[in-house]
Each structure stands twice: as structure tokens, then as C-alpha cells.
Amino acid sequence: MRKLLLILFISPLFVSGQDGPFYFTHNNIQREFYFHIPNNLPANSPIVYVLHGWGGSGSSIMSTTAFNILSDQNNFAVCYPTGLIGSSGMTEWDAEGFSDIDFIKELNDSLWSVYQFDLNRVFATGFSYGAEMSYHLANCQTTNMFAAIAPLGGGMWDFINNGWPIICSPTINISVFVLNGTNDNEFNYNGGYYPGVGNYLSVDSIVSFWTDYSSCSVNNSYTFPDINNDNIFTEVTKYNNINTGDKVWLYKVNNGLHEWFDVGPWGNDDFWASEEIWNFFSQVGSNTTSLNDQKDVFNRRLLKTINVLGQEIQSSSNKLLFYIYDDGLVEKKIILE
């Protein structure tokens, strides 16, 4: 009996060109950012801010996450700011104060003045230190700038008790998508203490914090199939508030490490984090779109089939294959026998 496991993602397989660097002056400091916008992007489209980890840059997180691919296929803009060099000599985010919150807000205001993005669909995601900054944006934003965040591989600080110079708590409705690996050696899934910074919450406590805040209850739960047989199973739990539309999602990646889950759409993980994050964002705010809204499955033509090494083949059972179509769609399949 032949069974089909199918995961869709939209892509050409390679990102072409550089979208920056560009520069924006904030507090008399020249700040770097990278910015990708699809051709002929209509007004009132979403924008996603993607925040790099400690020591990273807008360029590095752009390459790692490959959000430009999803941007082109789903009509949203994506911005990759770069943090400032900190006392460590590495790029950092101000996840304890307001300087980077103000920087991102003013940068967004400047971009909006040109492109008129939908102010109800401004989103933030980030990895590691960028995930911490995403939580900080959600907790400390003074306006309803961000409709949703999606922190991956980062912690949320116990900001009430750790003696920070400021104490923040959320004041607006916001949806939150949490992605963490249980074997993350940088941020323990069960919480802990980060030297020089303070205590951070367990992932379960983070989820409880946001579900309690938004009065969400469990809506759905399931486990992704381990399609590449690496013994990494992702448990998915989705909460929502049927009255407000707020959502809280958890992807608990059992045995997952401190990494962006799948480095771009050409890897062989059980899911591509960037695609899952956009799917989450696309369900938040006004005039939402689906990953498949613009795909005509009846007129699509198969161009070729390749394996994980990029080699073109005809067909194969029990192996991960990529089916590439003429409309830019790539199907990620395993046919089981």
C-alpha cells in the first residue's frame, strides 16, 4: 500500500540578489537593516520583522531563514534589522530598555510612509537573542504596533522579579507562537538562569503566561510525523480565544537543538520554521491570506523531481523528494511503501 506524506512550501530553491544593507539614523546613530519587498506589492500588505541572534546581523538571519522566498510568494514585506555592538564586542539587542523598541518603531514608521503597510498586520519573529527581543517587544510596546510575535529558540525573562531597571507587562491583545527544542543547550526548555542577565521562564510557563493573558484555551493538538527518521518529534499545541481571535501556538521540538528548524526550504527537517511562522502570521489581523491562496493546482505543471542533494531523479519510495512546479510551488513528499 502506497501512502503519501506531503508538506507544501513555496519557493524557487535559491535566493537571488542582496536586499541591502540600508541605513536609518536613530538617536544620532546610523542603524543597519536589510529589507525585501516583492515586485508590485499592494498597499495594506503585511510586514514581518526578523531579529537575529547574539553576534548576528540582518544579513545572516536573512540567509538563515529565507523569508524572502515566502515574501515573494505571499505578498508581504520583510525587514531584517541589525543590533548594535554591545559591551561584549558583539551585536546585541536592548532587551532590557526601550532604545531598540523605539528604533524598530521609528524604522517601521519610516517604511510605512513609503509603502503604507497594513498597521494591523505588523509582525516580529527572531532567533535566540532575537527571540528574547521579540518577547520584549510584546511586553513593552507602548502602542499596538505588533499584532503577533513568533520567538524561536529563546527565553522570556522573569521580568517581574529579576531587578531590571524597568518592569513591563503587556497591555494590548497579541498572538504568540513559541518554538523551542527540548535539547536546546543555550536556553533550557525547563527554564533557568542566564549568567549576567537573570532568570528566564520555562517554555511551559511562557505558554501559560500568554494563554492566561489572552484567555485562550486549547483548540487543537497533534504531532508531526518524523519524516526524516531523526528521532525528533514536534508536538503542536494550538490555543485560541474564540471571542477576540487571539492565538497562542506551541511547537515543542522533542530532542531539538538551538537552531532555526530547517535552514531554508532545501533541508530535510519535519517542518520549515519560516513557513510555519508565516502560516501563523497569515491568520492574524485583517484581510488574512493563506499560503495556497494564489496557487492554481489544476494548471500547475511539474518541471522536475530532485532529492535532498539536488540531483534530478524520476521517482523513489521511502525517500524525501522535492517536486518542483512551473508556478514556483515545491512539494516536499515522501511516498511510503
Residue-wise pLDDT for 274-295, tens only, equals 999 999 999 997 644 433 333 3
Burial class (CB in 10 A: 0-12, 13-18, 19+), 296: exposed
* In the predicted structure, residue 10 carries a pLDDT above the cut 80: no
Residue-wise pLDDT for 34-84, tens only, equals 999 999 899 999 999 999 999 999 999 999 999 999 999 999 999 999 999
Say if strands 122-127 and 302-307 run parallel, antiparallel, or are unpaired.
Answer: unpaired
Q: Which of 145-154, 209-218, 312-321 has the lowest mean pLDDT?
A: 312-321
Q: For helices 67-74 and 273-281, what crossing angle results, to 10°?
A: 40
Mean pLDDT calculated for residue range 315-325: 64
Say if strands 198-200 and 192-194 run parallel, antiparallel, or are unpaired.
Answer: antiparallel
Burial class (CB in 10 A: 0-12, 13-18, 19+), 108: buried
Is the separation of the CB atoms in 4 and 333 below 8 Å? yes
- pLDDT confidence tier of residue 87, bands split at 50, 70 and 90: confident
Is the separation of the CB atoms in 177 and 277 below 8 Å? yes
Overall pTM > 0.75 = yes
* C-alpha separations of 241 from 101, 127, 285, 289, 290 in Å: 27, 26, 14, 20, 20
What are the two backbone dihedrals, phi and then psi, of residue 167, each rounded to the nearest 5 degrees? -125, 125
> Would you put residue 16 in left (φ > 0), alpha (ψ -120 to 50) or beta?
beta
Q: What ranges in the chain are assigned the alpha helix state H?
A: 58-65, 67-74, 99-115, 129-140, 203-214, 273-281
Mean pLDDT calculated for residue range 27-38: 95
Domains of the chain: 16-294 (3.40.50.1820), 297-337 (no CATH)
Residue-wise pLDDT for 195-216, tens only, equals 877 789 999 999 999 999 999 9
Half-sphere exposure in the Cβ direction for 177 (13 Å, CA): 25
